[in-house]
Chains A and B, each alone.
Chain A
Amino acid sequence: MTEQPNLNYIEELSAGSPEFKQKLIEILKREFPEEKKVFLDNYSQKKYKATAENVHKLKHKVGMLGFEAGYQTTISFEEELLNGEDSLFSEFMLILDSIENFLVTI
């Protein structure tokens, strides 16, 4: 996977306000690990409908961190899960890992 996360959207939204940028980053750092954990818990128990809900929630963060192909993968993975399939799990995990690594650096 060549796509890497970025803060372009957050910076644009912040309109020069470092306080707002910091606020969003803090929320991101707090919410993302929690959402990832719930996602993995549900996935490991094969609760695919609940997992699809978790992916739906993570989709917003994937989009706001600048993933384009990754965002489409997330949409497809959510639809897959609703049909009881999970072939895109590994691909989706690459996106989550990439975000996790990125959040450590900001």
Chain B
Amino acid sequence: MNCIIIDDEEMARAIIEQLCSQVDDLNVLEQFPNAIQAIKYLNQNEVDLIFLDIHMPDFTGFDFIQTLKSPPKIVLTTSDKNFALEAFEYDCIVDYMVKPITLPRFLKCIQKVQSTPINQSAPAQQTPSEENQDTKEENDLYINIDRRLIKIDIPTINVIEAKGDYILIKTEKQNYTVHSTLKKIEEKLPDDIFLKVHRSYVINFKKIIDIEDNSVLIEKDVIPVSRSNRPELMRRLNLL
């Protein structure tokens, strides 16, 4: 079985390589400190297994998986238990190991990899949220929280704020924290109502109460408006 290791941390790559050396017939073909280099490699080479760190700067492990048309088996390696739920959304992900990884845990993972049938026809991007696209209603957005798909009425959304690997969706009634990005949710929202006004904020501009030089007021929230986004905001307003 041929594998590659993708992790921005040299220490983590060395540890996984050492663990792989303890298993017969498991060859580490290459190691990469970032996903971009790995994508280039995979364009020209086939592998059976990828050990993939989720938390990498610029391009996360999940971003990387989305780029693969026929992904091999993937084992996620992470220092964060919070991504386990999202990991289950991908057919290609066979296991999820939390660092520091011990030899017994690694051997268990390899057993799991060996007993999982190869299913290369499954697209990497087959996530529940996308499966739901076919049946979505125009005004609804379904978000995945604790394995439940919760419906949000899109026009009731006031503001969406980026918070690290999460987004905070503030609606008229309730707030929701979801593991996603502003870019992903922007794609799901009608652009005649929603507008990115700052790298960390998308607003429903129908909900604006007032505007000052570099901020807007929505409900009780003062939302910053970046200089580059201000012209588009002003263009959309029905100014007297």
- Seen from chain A, the residues whose Cβ lies within 8 Å of a Cβ on chain B are 9, 12-15, 20, 23-24, 27-28, 31, 49, 52-53, 56-57, 59-61, 63-64, 82
Using CB atoms, name the residue of chain B closest to A53. Answer: B57
Q: Is the CB of A52 within 8 A of B164?
A: yes
Q: Is the CB of A12 within 8 A of B164?
A: no
Quick check: is B55 within 8 A (CB to CB) of the other chain?
yes
Chain B 51-86 near chain A by CB (<8 Å), digits 1 or 0: 000010100000000000000000000011000000
6 interchain pairs (CB within 8 A)? A14-B18, A31-B9, A49-B164, A57-B79, A60-B9, A82-B163
Q: Is the CB of A15 within 8 A of B22?
A: yes
- Seen from chain B, the residues whose Cβ lies within 8 Å of a Cβ on chain A are 9-12, 14-15, 18-19, 22, 55, 57, 79-80, 99-100, 102-103, 163-164, 166
CA distance A13 to B103 in the complex (A): 7
Q: Is the CB of B18 within 8 A of A60?
A: no
CA distance A27 to B9 in the complex (A): 10
Q: Is the CB of B9 within 8 A of A24?
A: no
User: A12: which B residues are within 8 A, CB to CB?
Assistant: 102-103
Using CB atoms, name the residue of chain A closest to B7. Answer: A60
